[in-house]
Amino acid sequence: MLKDRFYPMIFTSFAGYSWNKLVKDLLAGVLVAIIALPLSIAFGIASGVTPASGLMTSLIGGFIVSLFSGSSVQVAGPTGAFIVIVYDILRENGFIGLMQATFIAGVILIGMGASGVGSWLRFISRPVVVGYTSGIAVTIFTGQIKDSLGLEMGQVPPHFTDKMYAFWQNIDSVNPYAILTVVLTFGLIQTIHYFKKTYPAAFIALITVSFVTYYFQFPVETILSRFGKLTLSLEVVPLFPLDLDTITFLFPAALTIAILGAIESLLCALVADGMVGERHRSNTELIAQGLGNIATPLFGGLPVTGAIARTAANVRAGAKTPLAGLSHVFFLLSIIIFLEDFVVYIPMASLA
């Protein structure tokens, strides 16, 4: 019975393992780490927290999910689908409230996997998923207008019409250098994709444009000017005690995180199945996601779930086993350590 509910792929993925597969897993880990760096930073900022929170999500959550995943090639981390939810929870309940809600969501996900709910979620209709993700796309886009235009304004309002009105009121503060930075970044990404789709275009573009803006002293906001130095800490966030009143109050938010995380992770696993020709273990995947979401908030991380872009890149790079996902965490940490002094000069407009 336990094996039906929780049997990670890592137990069966290494049958007939070879040096050739090891090399492919490690190369895939390098590529996914390069892709994960800008995405983790960008999703952390867009969610209303710090770049470090986004990176901790990829490091802690990514490791745990890969270790216990019901898919051989699933890669987890912060995703765009959570930006709207995280931003709202953060605004209403503060940072500690967000961390507590994520922790509770992890417990819910484990319960869903242990009870076999993973097999039911496949019946959610496609129009519901498409409609929700389309709404997320619009919200993310409007949320990045401020940094894209370099507007000098305070807090961006949460609602669409209020955002548009606030942007219009501050249109006189548009920074042409920020717009130029956006154009350079977007143009470089599209050019790289045109010639070679397998290259990590976002990473190359961010590094190149950061060098250009730093060398020519563009007056644009950077990670350093907004957040200070990029520091990762293993200091445990004080989530406890979690009394009944707190759990009851945060339960709706936690349930939202859990359901969205379950849907996105299983959709991601299905995409991976089609690419590698295997069948993932749905309930095991939910339990793995639950463990990840219990661990990440302890260190200030965001909700974690299967990331389709990173998982697809992992497969295309030749990943064969969960070692690819585990190694991407090691390589991501190495990049952060060795490029920390450079990463902080990435322009906010480029991330937008």
Tell me: the pLDDT tens digits for 179-198? 999 999 999 989 988 887 77
Q: Residue 158: pLDDT band by 50, 70, 90 thresholds?
A: low
Q: Say if 10 falls within a structural domain.
A: no
- Confidence label for 297 from pLDDT (cuts 50, 70 and 90): very high
What percentage of the chain exceeds 70 in pLDDT?
94
Q: Is residue 254 part of a domain?
A: no
Please report whether residue 286 resides in a domain.
Answer: yes
92 part of a folded domain: yes
Domain that holds residue 231: 28-123+196-244+266-351
Is pLDDT above 60 for 241? yes
Specify the residue for token string 């920390």.
340
Structure tokens at 219: 């007056």
Residue 42, domain member (yes or no):
yes
For the ranges 188-197, 265-274, 299-308, 339-348, the one whose mean pLDDT is highest: 299-308
CA 307 to chain CA centroid, nearest Å: 7
Is there a cis peptide before residue 238, judged by omega within 30 degrees of 0?
no
| Contact present, 53 and 308 (Cβ < 8 Å) | no
Separation CA 311–CA 302 (nearest Å): 19
Does residue 181 belong to any structural domain of this protein? no
- pLDDT tens readout for residues 97-126: 999 999 999 999 999 988 887 667 666 666
The answer as to whether 137 is a domain residue is no
User: Span 20-26, mean pLDDT?
Assistant: 88
On whether residue 52 sits in a domain, the answer given is: yes
How many domains in the chain?
Answer: 1
